Structure 1
Amino acid sequence: MRRVVPLLILSLLATRGGPAMAEERGAGQTACWFENGAVVAPAAIGGIAGDYVIDLSAPHTLLHVDVAQGAGFTDTALTLPVRVAGRKVDAAPIAVQNLDYRAVGFSTPIMGVIGADILGRYGLALDFSPCRLRLERPGRVRGGWKGGLPVTIVGGVPTVLAAASNGLHGISGPFALDTASAGGVRARGAADGPRQKPVGTLSGLSLNGALRQDLPAVVAGDLPAGVVGAIGVRVLAGYRLRLDPTALRLWLTPIPAGR
């Protein structure tokens, strides 16, 4: 018997603001990869280079406490430069946390999480096959494209309207873009809950004019207040994703089934 996920648990926490950015000319890009249900890319925080989870649904950029202490940092709130995909933030607020729960199942150590406070300041292009992350000055990512989905920034993260149902109850509203969860949809759960193992199935998700059925669902991690849920990699990987924070638009271009 299919286990349903209670949609009533999709409630949430508040967030804070973002950093001052140092713009660089042109576009920056880097190869990324899928691991453990997450998009991972090389980056550096305060000179600490390594593998970082790329998470558009995380309001804040995070550094693993063990990594921070190993580099000589003792505070839990830091201001450090961040480099990712050829872009640099000269002084970004960094939260130092124990990220052991987010590092489970990865083949290499995870240094931290690059969140929406960094990613949301650029035009973002994410290709899933092959995986490539591109960051441009806002307004340039879409080129001459028209249309797209309206984007609303809620609690510091970009969201789009979607609707989900577990067969008994339905819920609709702003959903974050979770590029770090193995499931198709993530509901709010324990702050230190794993995102790698779906624990149930949603009967349906309506997004971008398409209905997807029997999606694996993850119940883990906090979401900003006002965010209904998060759309995971199981769904997003079916598209080429383009996000323009200036125009507040998201373009989801379906990837041909053969790829």
Structure 2
Amino acid sequence: MALRRAADSLWRMGVRAAMILFSALLALLAPAPDVQAAPAASHLAADTEARWVPFELTGNQIRFRTLLNGRWVDAILDTGVTDTAVSARFARAAGLKPLVAGRADAIGGSVPLSWGAVDRVEVGGLVRTGGRIAIIDADPRVTGAAPVDLFVGADLLAAYALEIDYDAQRFRLLSSGRMPFRGVTAPLRLAGPTGLYLSELDIGGRRYRPVIVDTGDGSMVTLTSAAWRGTGAASGPVTTAIAYGLGGEVESEVTILPALRIESLPASEVELRIEPDTGFSARKGAAGRVGGGLLRRHRVLLDPGAGRMILAPAARGDWPVTRSTSGLMVSQRGDRLRVLHVMRGSPAAAEWQAGMEICAVDGAPIPAAYATSPLASWSTGAPGRTVRLRLCDGPERSLTLARFY
């Protein structure tokens, strides 16, 4: 469970940005060119219902190990990826050759990729032989401290029902039309040529459609600025945060929604990201996205073939929002913390700037294992606590933590 402990500590550090936005990585700008590959053929094993795949949550992303061309690979289950992709690093090691160049629309902008032929991909009871795979140079900031080499997308998943049991941290693939548990049913469909999973949300009594359902996005809910202005809920404090997509760094506004609904299923205390109207959701004609941060409060069945998403409350249906009380989003670089972003309206807003480096917290130097140490909790500590932060160029500053959004 080392990955899970590391991820929890990263949230406490305020480096959520390093993990949150890896969604819809490969929404193609144009149809993929033909690749000289064996025709793709997929099937489910006869015992697929028994083939649960264990996973760990890191930054609310579903990470697991599976087989690609007979090699074990670390993977993310990502319905926001329209075409399954492999890292260029793994492709080189496995002898997967880039054959045809292309481009994809991603969080942060357009990115280059290559297409190659693949022999065999296995995910639980699903086996696909032949077909193509995208090859990408994945920015390590997108997936946090632990590298990932395979992004399992809608081209593999959409023909089947995907059941995610967040309580037991396992998932499986079933024949479309199966209903293994009871819950609230919401519409789910695939968007034409993009292959994105689309559903609906109700905020303040207003229905928002479509919204992208993205298991690879670690955030809870994202809305476009236009959709947010129409909620009638735009009265609470709003701050800023950054995140990383394959297309680069993205800054968005962040607030906390007291409540929303997916059909008749309520959710309270939901972190909302407000994306510019030039952002990814708007470019795909969507009002926003539902990410793993909200999905993890439920048992989930995604079955676009049957036109439905089924949600049932999980044991941790009240999974709390982790809020920064410092306003400093940082990442570790050796024996120091580098400030990535200073959140608007936060206790740090007046005196801190991105690029500053911290070498000690309350007199304690930054250890190599900082991410998994108790020291990392200072950034989301109790309001009213004063933290002493020593800058690497010498002076020490005091920062009093506060609830600011």
TM-score scaled by length of structure 1: 0.78
Which one of 210, 213, 217 corresponds to residue 181 of structure 1? Answer: 217
Give the deviation of 1:160 after TM superposition: 0.9
Give the deviation of 1:67 after TM superposition: 1.3
In structure 1, what is the equivalent of residue 150 of structure 2?
A: 112
- For structure 1, which segment, 55-64 or 241-250, has the greater mean C-alpha deviation from structure 2 after superposition? 241-250
Give 1:84-163 correspondences, 5 Å limit: 84-101=123-140, 103-107=142-146, 109-140=147-178, 142-143=179-180, 145=182, 148-154=185-191, 155-163=194-202
Which one of 273, 288, 295 corresponds to residue 229 of structure 1? Answer: 288
CA distance in structure 1 between the partners assigned to 2:84 and 2:260 by the alignment: 28
Give the deviation of 1:122 after TM superposition: 1.5
Cα pair 2:167 2:315 within 8 Å, conserved: no
Q: Deviations over 1:166-194 (max 9, x none)?
A: xxxx8821112222222112468964346
Q: Deviations over 1:192-231 (max 9, x none)?
A: 3469x98622536442332544514285984572333221
CA distance in structure 2 between the partners assigned to 1:104 and 1:145 by the alignment: 33
Cα pair 1:61 1:117 within 8 Å, conserved: yes
The structure-2 alpha-carbon separation of the partners of 1:61 and 1:218, relative to structure 1 and needing over 3 Å to count, comes to: farther
The structure-2 alpha-carbon separation of the partners of 1:77 and 1:254, relative to structure 1 and needing over 3 Å to count, comes to: same
Q: Deviations over 1:56-112 (max 9, x none)?
A: 1211111001111222223121231211113211123211011124654233x3112
- More helix by percentage: 2
Larger Rg: 2
CA distance in structure 2 between the partners assigned to 1:181 and 1:45 by the alignment: 23
CA distance in structure 2 between the partners assigned to 1:117 and 1:57 by the alignment: 10
Work out whether 1:24 is the aligned partner of 2:78: no
Give the deviation of 1:118 after TM superposition: 0.8
The structure-2 alpha-carbon separation of the partners of 1:127 and 1:37, relative to structure 1 and needing over 3 Å to count, comes to: same
Which one of 38, 57, 82 corresponds to residue 59 of structure 1? Answer: 82
Which one of 119, 122, 127 corresponds to residue 83 of structure 1? Answer: 122
In structure 2, what is the equivalent of residue 8 of structure 1?
A: none
Between Structure 1 and Structure 2, how many residues are aligned? Answer: 241
What SS is found at the alignment partner of 1:246? helix
Cα pair 2:97 2:116 within 8 Å, conserved: no
In the alignment, residue 201 of structure 1 is paired with which amino acid? T
Cα pair 2:167 2:316 within 8 Å, conserved: no
Cα pair 1:34 1:40 within 8 Å, conserved: yes
Cα pair 1:182 1:218 within 8 Å, conserved: no
Higher RCO, 1 vs 2 (CA within 8 Å, ≥6 residues apart): 1
In structure 1, what is the equivalent of residue 387 of structure 2?
A: none
The structure-2 alpha-carbon separation of the partners of 1:208 and 1:50, relative to structure 1 and needing over 3 Å to count, comes to: same
Work out whether 1:42 is the aligned partner of 2:65: yes
Cα pair 1:54 1:113 within 8 Å, conserved: yes
Runs of 4 or more, structure 1, over 3 Å off, are 12-17, 101-104, 143-147, 186-191, 202-206, 211-214, 218-224, 256-259
CA distance in structure 2 between the partners assigned to 1:21 and 1:45 by the alignment: 14
Which one of 251, 254, 257 corresponds to residue 200 of structure 1? Answer: 254
The structure-2 alpha-carbon separation of the partners of 1:94 and 1:156, relative to structure 1 and needing over 3 Å to count, comes to: same
CA distance in structure 2 between the partners assigned to 1:144 and 1:14 by the alignment: 37
Unmatched tracts of structure 2, length 5 or more: 1-26, 33-39, 99-113, 225-243, 320-405
- For structure 1, which segment, 122-131 or 142-151, has the greater mean C-alpha deviation from structure 2 after superposition? 142-151
- For structure 1, which segment, 118-127 or 243-252, has the greater mean C-alpha deviation from structure 2 after superposition? 243-252
What SS is found at the alignment partner of 2:131? strand
In the alignment, residue 71 of structure 2 is paired with which amino acid? I
CA distance in structure 2 between the partners assigned to 1:231 and 1:127 by the alignment: 17
TM-score scaled by length of structure 2: 0.52
What SS is found at the alignment partner of 2:209? strand
CA distance in structure 1 between the partners assigned to 2:290 and 2:300 by the alignment: 13
CA distance in structure 1 between the partners assigned to 2:60 and 2:183 by the alignment: 31
CA distance in structure 2 between the partners assigned to 1:145 and 1:254 by the alignment: 10
